[in-house]
Amino acid sequence: MKIVFIGASSLAIATAQQLLRAGHEVIIIENDKTVIDKLMPHIDCVFLHGNGSKPAILKETDPATIDVLFCLTKSDEANIIASLVARSLGVKRVITRVEDPEFEHICVGLGLTNTIIPTLTHARYLANIAAGRDVLELSAIFRGNVKLFSFIATENEAGAVSDLDLPKHTRIIFCYRDNQFLPLDHDSKIEPADELVLVTTVADYEKLHAKWGNGKDIS
């Protein structure tokens, strides 16, 4: 795969190194030339110097051939803008990093359905450790073609879980309502603005994404 990173953050570098070891093509766009100079002797990938939110810079990567583009700068606003520019240039899949959880629903509204919030993820992880709970990586739990998918419910989805038209191999497992975890069963009621989390298969995931364009893969 061809993978591009905007911003040479520590998260970007760690991810890039793993992808390079797996044999993927990696390009890193960084606005700070001194950062590039420090990294070049240690990472065997292509570096581009420039502002990754500028169309001219992104065009140098041949956007139509990019499999995944990660926007991982330290600025939420810059990551959102770069993501939108990349989408406009035909990038297949864009991953947007935001630190402020308030930006998550804005990203969904803009069609940026693959949003990551590292601070919130780490906070939940550490809270579980502090509480003495066993924490398992998703990769150790979900095998084969199993995936997680989430989307924000609208008035159209409000009502009983049983009334939601889901593909054969898909189930709703819980939701976040007002940022609070809420387990769901067959008789539970869905409310507008609930973030529904579903377990599904790769085949059904495509159907879910086609039906709920505001959804995202969280597996």
Q: In the prediction, which pLDDT does 22 show? A: 86
Question: Is residue 125 over pLDDT 70?
Answer: no
Cα-based distances in Å from 195 to 48, 53, 108, 173: 37, 29, 11, 11
Q: In the prediction, which pLDDT does 209 show? A: 77
Side chain identity at residue 33, one-letter code? K
Which helix (H) or strand (E) is 181 found in, with range? strand 180-183
pLDDT in tens, 53-107: 999 999 999 999 999 999 999 898 999 999 999 999 999 889 888 888 778 777 8
Asked if 219 and 173 touch (Cβ cutoff 8 Å), the reply is no
How many CB atoms lie under 10 A from the CB of residue 202?
12
Percentage of residues of the chain with pLDDT beyond 70: 85
CA–CA dist 138, 86 (Å, integer): 28
Cα-based distances in Å from 32 to 48, 61, 111, 181: 10, 18, 29, 41
Asked if 82 and 48 touch (Cβ cutoff 8 Å), the reply is no
Domains belonging to the chain, first-starting first, are 2-122 (3.40.50.720), 138-217 (3.30.70.1450)
Average confidence (pLDDT) over 36-43 = 92
Average confidence (pLDDT) over 154-162 = 89
